């Protein structure tokens, strides 16, 4: 970030190296490549991020979770919100200017397709000017090109819910997958309307992040800031709050110099013309500013011709006023950073306790049965085993005491041997545990003995193993004696 903030500094070898736009373009390319490539990358058959409602699976950091294992979701949501708070407090709307798909798509459509490719617009330096007259045909071509890209973007979005390996298989049977296709074309239709008609109004009026971000700002938040002390005061300020009002104090360079003879702003308004949200940054922080820094680049060019640094910096308001570097380490950023680290560690610890199979145990309505003339006590359970892995395994289980040592007095009467379970499948098993020993001698009530079921895959018992607590019910002693004496 420090390197980027230095962007306003003039270099001996020209401006290009110090203009944010090129750095932003690299970010856009990187973000596009990452978002397109990520769904295709698999490790052990698992994706980096996949919310697959089709197979009821969640893939996170190349680990597959069953939907029933969504205990990690609260940590992810906490991290998401803390990450947004941390990023916004530190860098303002850095997401909007540098990575948001809306900004990237607008640059592709407005600057690349309409301006550079089809010459419908005069210059990327003037985002306020209307399209050139007599370009209706070209405008249709621009919308068609964007429509193709919008469908690709819609498909790419879908790949985080339906992975590419399934997506292209489903495409061969479009009639059977109308919902998926509906989503892809629905997203594409929205993107066509959004990027060609709604434009930056989406950032200003629709995007919820735009509405809430301002409350996370403080005096040290990095943003596009016009240096009034050098450039001169252009807008009237509220005498009490000091906030700039809509009325201009001066309307041209002459009026500005009359009030402030040392003011450096040339009043060229290159910063206003280039602004995609049509605001004048010389008025101060505004909700509409998406932090794209086009204005800073424009002023770098204008002031650079005069051998001076830009009047618009990517810096904090306080740092510009005091002509210093911004303070990154402050209470709010450190607090968010610490909270984020704690959530990350908690997520990591939780994910290391991930279970590679699922087991639910329910007891049957009958507490116990007594067989063999009172010599054998049986307990029945319904156990639901689920293979959450990508390959077939054989499963079985053991009975343990609370200290996890084998409970030798209780044995498995049913099922007698391990059973196979295909990848992703679940099976209900009636399990009967039995004992021939006198586990308790209580003549006033039945006794419940805590036990642990250790279930595992026979071929990988170290990794694929789960422990579940349950009870073994043993009848009262006098009742048992009565059965034995029958």
**Contact pick of 58, 195, 256, 281 for ligand SF4 (by CB under 6 A):** 281
Does the protein bind ligand SF4 through residue 156 (CB under 6 A)?
A: no
Q: What is the closest distance, in whole angstroms, from the C-beta atom of residue 200 to ligand SF4 in the complex? A: 8
Nearer to ligand SF4, 268 or 412 (CB): 268
Give phi and psi for 65, each to the nearest 5. Answer: -120, 145
**Contact pick of 82, 120, 270, 357 for ligand SF4 (by CB under 6 A):** 270
DSSP secondary structure code for residue 184 in this structure = H
Q: How far apart are CA 474 and CA 377, in angstroms?
A: 7
Does the protein bind ligand SF4 through residue 224 (CB under 6 A)?
A: yes
Q: What is the closest distance, in whole angstroms, from the C-beta atom of residue 127 to ligand SF4 in the complex? A: 8
Q: Which residues contact 435 (CB under 8 A, 6 or more apart)?
A: 376, 377, 409, 410, 411, 472, 474
Does the protein bind ligand SF4 through residue 346 (CB under 6 A)?
A: no
Q: How far apart are CA 91 and CA 328, in angstroms?
A: 9
Q: What is the closest distance, in whole angstroms, from the C-beta atom of residue 289 to ligand SF4 in the complex? A: 3
Count of alpha carbons within 13 Å of 105, Cβ hemisphere only? 28
Does the protein bind ligand SF4 through residue 35 (CB under 6 A)?
A: no
Segment lying near ligand SF4 (by CB under 6 A), choices 113-121, 148-156, 266-274, 394-402: 266-274
Does the protein bind ligand SF4 through residue 5 (CB under 6 A)?
A: no
**Contact pick of 7, 39, 163, 231 for ligand SF4 (by CB under 6 A):** 231
Burial letters for 104-134: b for 16+ Cβ neighbours within 10 Å, e otherwise? bbbbbbbbebbbeebebbeebeebeeebeee
Segment lying near ligand SF4 (by CB under 6 A), choices 31-39, 274-282, 369-377, 474-482: 274-282
Q: What is the closest distance, in whole angstroms, from the C-beta atom of residue 293 to ligand SF4 in the complex? A: 5
Does the protein bind ligand SF4 through residue 222 (CB under 6 A)?
A: no
Does the protein bind ligand SF4 through residue 111 (CB under 6 A)?
A: no
**Contact pick of 225, 265, 431, 452 for ligand SF4 (by CB under 6 A):** 265
Q: Which of residues 293-322 bind ligand SF4 (CB under 6 A)?
A: 293-295, 298-299, 302, 311-312
Does the protein bind ligand SF4 through residue 291 (CB under 6 A)?
A: yes
Q: How far apart are CA 77 and CA 404, in angstroms?
A: 35
3-state secondary structure 201-261: HHHHHHCHHHHHHHHHCCCCCCEEEECHHHHCCCEEECCCCCCEEEEECCCCHHHHHHHCC
Does the protein bind ligand SF4 through residue 277 (CB under 6 A)?
A: yes
Scan for tokens 């798909």, then name that residue: 101
Within 10 A of 86 (CB to CB), how many other CB atoms are there? 20
212 token code pair:
């809430």
Element holding 47 (H helix, E strand): strand 46-47
Nearer to ligand SF4, 180 or 292 (CB): 292
Give phi and psi for 227, each to the nearest 5. Answer: -85, 95
Q: What is the closest distance, in whole angstroms, from the C-beta atom of residue 195 to ligand SF4 in the complex? A: 17
Nearest to 388, CA basis, from 325, 287, 441, 463: 463
**Residues engaged in binding ligand SF4 (CB under 6 A):** 224, 231, 265-271, 274-277, 279, 281-282, 289-295, 298-299, 302, 311-312
């Amino acid at each position: 970030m420090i390197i980027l903030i230095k962007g306003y500094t003039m270099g001996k070898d020209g401006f290009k190296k110090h203009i944010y736009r090129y750095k932003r373009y690299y970010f856009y390319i990187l973000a596009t490549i990452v978002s397109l490539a990520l769904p295709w990358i698999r490790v052990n058959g698992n994706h980096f991020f996949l919310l697959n409602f089709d197979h009821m699976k969640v893939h996170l950091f190349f680990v597959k979770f069953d939907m029933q294992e969504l205990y990690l979701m609260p940590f992810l949501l906490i991290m998401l919100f803390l990450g947004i708070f941390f990023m916004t407090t530190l860098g303002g709307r850095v997401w909007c200017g540098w990575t948001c798909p809306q900004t990237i798509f607008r640059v592709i459509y407005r600057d690349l397709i309409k301006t550079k490719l089809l010459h419908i617009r005069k210059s990327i330096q003037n985002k306020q000017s209307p399209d050139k007259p007599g370009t209706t045909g070209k405008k249709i071509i621009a919308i068609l090109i964007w429509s193709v890209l919008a469908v690709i973007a819609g498909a790419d979005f879908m790949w985080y819910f339906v992975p590419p390996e399934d997506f292209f298989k489903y495409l061969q049977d479009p009639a059977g997958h109308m919902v998926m296709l509906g989503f892809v074309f629905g997203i594409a239709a929205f993107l066509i309307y959004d990027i060609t008609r709604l434009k930056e109004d989406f950032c200003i009026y629709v995007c919820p992040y735009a509405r809430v971000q301002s409350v996370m700002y403080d005096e040290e938040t990095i943003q596009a800031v016009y240096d009034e002390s050098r450039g001169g005061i252009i807008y009237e300020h509220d005498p009490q709050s000091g906030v700039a009002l809509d009325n201009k104090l001066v309307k041209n360079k002459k009026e500005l110099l009359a009030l402030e003879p040392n003011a450096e702003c040339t009043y060229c308004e290159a910063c206003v013309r280039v602004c995609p949200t049509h605001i004048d940054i010389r008025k101060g922080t505004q909700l509409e500013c998406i932090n794209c820094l086009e204005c800073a680049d424009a002023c770098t060019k204008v002031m650079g011709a005069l051998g001076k640094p830009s009047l618009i910096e990517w810096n904090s308001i306080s740092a510009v006023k005091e002509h210093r570097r911004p303070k990154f380490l402050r209470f709010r950023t450190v607090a968010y950073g610490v909270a984020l680290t704690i959530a990350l560690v908690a997520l990591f610890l939780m994910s290391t306790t991930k279970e590679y199979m699922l087991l639910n145990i329910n007891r049957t309505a009958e507490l116990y049965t007594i067989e063999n003339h009172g010599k054998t006590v049986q307990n029945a359970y319904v156990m639901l085993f689920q293979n959450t892995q990508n390959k077939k395994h054989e499963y079985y289980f053991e009975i343990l005491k609370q200290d996890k040592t084998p409970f030798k007095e209780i044995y498995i009467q049913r099922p007698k041997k391990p059973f196979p379970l295909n990848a992703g499948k679940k099976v209900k098993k009636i399990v009967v545990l039995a004992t021939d020993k006198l586990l308790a001698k209580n003549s006033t009530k039945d006794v419940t003995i805590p036990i642990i079921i250790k279930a595992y895959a026979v071929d990988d018992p170290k990794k694929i193993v789960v422990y579940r607590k349950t009870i073994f019910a043993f009848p009262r002693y006098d009742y048992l004696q009565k059965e034995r004496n029958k």
